[in-house]
Amino acid sequence: MIGTGYVGLVTGTCLAEVGNDVLCLDVDARKIDILNGGGVPIHEPGLEAMVRRNAAAGRLRFTTDVDAAVAHGTLQFIAVGTPPDEDGSADMQYVLQAARNIGKRMTEWKVVVDKSTVPVGTADRVRAAIAEELAARKADIPFAVASNPEFLKEGAAVEDFMKPDRVVLGADDERAIAMLRAVYAPFQRNHERLLVMDVRSAELTKYAANAMLATRISFMNELANLADRLGADIEQVRQGIGSDPRIGYHFLYPGVGYGGSCFPKDVKALQHSASELGTPLKLLAAVEAVNDAQKSVLVDKIVGRLGGDLTGRRFALWGLAFKPNTDDMREAPSRVVIDALAARGATVTAYDPVAMPEAKRALGTPAHLTYADSPQAACDGADALVVVTEWKEFRSPDFARLKKQLKEPLIFDGRNLYEPAMVRDAGLEYFAIGRR
């Protein structure tokens, strides 16, 4: 498993869980040290126990030694990062580096599996990079390249991997297909969920899935803002449309805009690919524009209520991670909210059940940001409460206590967690996204 991040570590661990012998490689020695020391560098429900169990059984090992990793497996999964480049395209340097590392060292037939989210055509580039390295050392060793995009969700990654909705496999080499079919068989004993397709379609499927999900979010955000102006309640509208099976309830929650390590970069990368072909995607351009604007909606509401100069004000902020059940701070909406409040002179006291260590790493401890030990401690003496991530423990607060703690009884809720009437009955002013 090349790359031991959110995807690589979960994939490697779940493959070990069903009996495979897995060696996880990373260039980040810090991560490998933590893993070899019995820890887990990320927060993912169920992962730590599974890592420990499989490491103890000797089926799951971690290394920074590229030679050992290439020698270890017939199957070489590439699960390295594909962050956005300056122009919005996916930065392919880590994927191609991983491919070259294999080409430089392999001594027998391998299946190289692209698990990272990569632009259409990447399998060809991976194949070319390996072939070039083989040619450079005059080695004539056959190999196959397959695309196997990952659909796991952070926060439920182990469960998603163990019980996938589908496994997409893009390949044309029968031996490689048979081998990957066998790898995934233990995860779909109840019914077959493997979709074998051509490589380019598999690569595009991953981007299409994330683009669709981002579209649903932006659609609901735009309608929520309209509901605000029309005096309608987006939560009632959500239930009214979600009940149509053609629409469904999933992913129709308005909020402070999508973030995280995938949607923003994948939407940009797909848009970049389309634009390079002279056919920019009009719908996705709108999805992105709506999302960019949505990130400031919550702060706009704060400014609307308290005025533009927030000097001397202190806000309690609940939730730092980009979504619940993860400590991932990449493109987290909390960052935008904290920066916008700081730019207007305010300070923030933040609380998150698991992401505070990661937030300290990512954001540091600037003068305008302090961290609290509990949701209540964050609110003590704050001017107002701002809810940014919908962790379960924020869903049913003691509103009467909040009213006493806050200097002004104000809640700005970017996740629509509360029934407006209940908050108001407790004597607090409530500002949410598209709620009456």
Ligand X SMILES: NC(=O)c1ccc[n+]([C@@H]2O[C@H](COP(=O)([O-])OP(=O)(O)OC[C@H]3O[C@@H](n4cnc5c(N)ncnc54)[C@H](O)[C@@H]3O)[C@@H](O)[C@H]2O)c1
Active site residues: 262
Q: Comparing C-alpha atoms, which of 254, 285, 282 is closest to residue 267?
A: 285
Stretch that binds ligand X, among 76-84, 121-129, 192-200, 218-226 (CB under 6 A): 76-84
Q: Is 89 in the site for ligand X (CB under 6 A)?
A: no
- Which DSSP helix (H) or strand (E) runs through 403? helix 399-405
Q: Is 2 in the site for ligand X (CB under 6 A)?
A: yes
Q: Is 334 in the site for ligand X (CB under 6 A)?
A: no
Report the C-alpha gap between 378 and 359 in whole angstroms: 16
Report the C-alpha gap between 111 and 137 in whole angstroms: 19
Tell me the two tokens of residue 124: 């060809």
Residues 6 or more apart whose CB falls under 8 angstroms from that of 115 comprise: 7, 8, 11, 77, 78, 79, 148, 149, 150
Give the strand pairing for 167-170 and 194-197: parallel
Q: Is 13 in the site for ligand X (CB under 6 A)?
A: no
Nearer of residues 31 and 295 to ligand X, judged by Cβ: 31
Q: In the bound complex, what is the minimum distance in angstroms from residue 82's beta carbon to ligand X?
A: 4
Q: Is 62 in the site for ligand X (CB under 6 A)?
A: no
Report the C-alpha gap between 326 and 143 in whole angstroms: 37
Nearer of residues 133 and 222 to ligand X, judged by Cβ: 133
Q: 230-289: which residues touch ligand X (CB under 6 A)?
A: 261-262
Q: Is 294 in the site for ligand X (CB under 6 A)?
A: no
Q: Is 25 in the site for ligand X (CB under 6 A)?
A: yes
Q: Is 98 in the site for ligand X (CB under 6 A)?
A: yes
Nearer of residues 149 and 375 to ligand X, judged by Cβ: 149
Q: Is 44 in the site for ligand X (CB under 6 A)?
A: no
Q: Is 23 in the site for ligand X (CB under 6 A)?
A: no
Q: Is 164 in the site for ligand X (CB under 6 A)?
A: no
Q: In the bound complex, what is the minimum distance in angstroms from residue 8's beta carbon to ligand X?
A: 6
Nearer of residues 29 and 230 to ligand X, judged by Cβ: 29
| Binding letters toward ligand X, positions 119-158, x by CB under 6 A | -------------------------------x-x-x----
Q: In the bound complex, what is the minimum distance in angstroms from residue 264's beta carbon to ligand X?
A: 11
Nearer of residues 122 and 291 to ligand X, judged by Cβ: 122
Q: Is 75 in the site for ligand X (CB under 6 A)?
A: no
Nearer of residues 79 and 340 to ligand X, judged by Cβ: 79
Report the C-alpha gap between 242 and 233 in whole angstroms: 14
Among the listed residues 15, 16, 24, 26, the single contact to ligand X using CB under 6 A:
26
Beta strands in 104-242 (DSSP E): 110-114, 143-147, 167-170, 194-197
Residue closest to ligand X when measured from CB atoms: 5
Q: In the bound complex, what is the minimum distance in angstroms from residue 291's beta carbon to ligand X?
A: 17
Whether 363 and 83 have beta carbons less than 8 Å apart is answered as no
If binding means CB under 6 A, how many residues of this protein chain bind ligand X? Answer: 26
Whether 315 and 382 have beta carbons less than 8 Å apart is answered as yes
Q: Is 4 in the site for ligand X (CB under 6 A)?
A: yes
Give the strand pairing for 194-197 and 410-413: unpaired
Please give the backbone phi and psi of residue 406, each rounded to the nearest 5 degrees, phi first.
-80, 145
Among the listed residues 15, 23, 31, 222, the single contact to ligand X using CB under 6 A:
31
Nearer of residues 150 and 203 to ligand X, judged by Cβ: 150
Q: 362-421: which residues touch ligand X (CB under 6 A)?
A: none
Beta strands in 220-346 (DSSP E): 314-318
Report the C-alpha gap between 74 and 83 in whole angstroms: 27
Report the C-alpha gap between 353 and 394 in whole angstroms: 10
Tell me the two tokens of residue 131: 């072939």
Report the C-alpha gap between 396 and 418 in whole angstroms: 8
Residues 6 or more apart whose CB falls under 8 angstroms from that of 302 comprise: 310, 315, 341, 384, 386, 412, 431
Stretch that binds ligand X, among 22-30, 102-110, 171-179, 389-397 (CB under 6 A): 22-30
Whether 434 and 256 have beta carbons less than 8 Å apart is answered as no
Q: In the bound complex, what is the minimum distance in angstroms from residue 402's beta carbon to ligand X?
A: 33
Nearer of residues 93 and 236 to ligand X, judged by Cβ: 93
Whether 221 and 291 have beta carbons less than 8 Å apart is answered as yes
Residues that bind ligand X (CB under 6 A): 2-8, 25-28, 31, 79-82, 94, 97-98, 116-117, 150, 152, 154, 261-262
